[in-house]
Amino acid sequence: MLGIFGIPNSVPHTPDSTLRDVLKFVRDNLVTDTHRINMLLNEDASEVAHGVITLINDTDTGLLSEYDTAIEAGDSITFVSTLHGG
């Protein structure tokens, strides 16, 4: 389960899915404002942009296997921006 802007979305899952696969799916299927995608993902969608924390089941991916973390059916993935205006 993946929530983009508070809207739950289902992401296709295979037994060997990783967070990198999810990021590419998000880029290709869920992001509609392609002019600002760099605020969420890097250029090739292999990593999140600077200032974005990624949680899998409420655990920071920095404590897991980062982008190689296996994604299982029913996992919750959350993107949190640490950047804000003043």
How far, in Å, CA of 38 to CA of 5, rounded? 16
How far, in Å, CA of 57 to CA of 76, rounded? 5
How far, in Å, CA of 17 to CA of 85, rounded? 35
pLDDT at 8: 57
Closest-CA residue to 42 (of 32, 33, 52): 52
pLDDT at 86: 60
Domain positions in the chain are 19-81
pLDDT at 18: 94
pLDDT digit string (tens) for the chain, length 86 residues: 444 445 556 777 788 999 999 999 888 888 888 888 888 899 899 999 999 999 999 999 999 999 999 998 888 888 898 887 66
Range 19-81 classified under CATH 3.10.20.30: yes
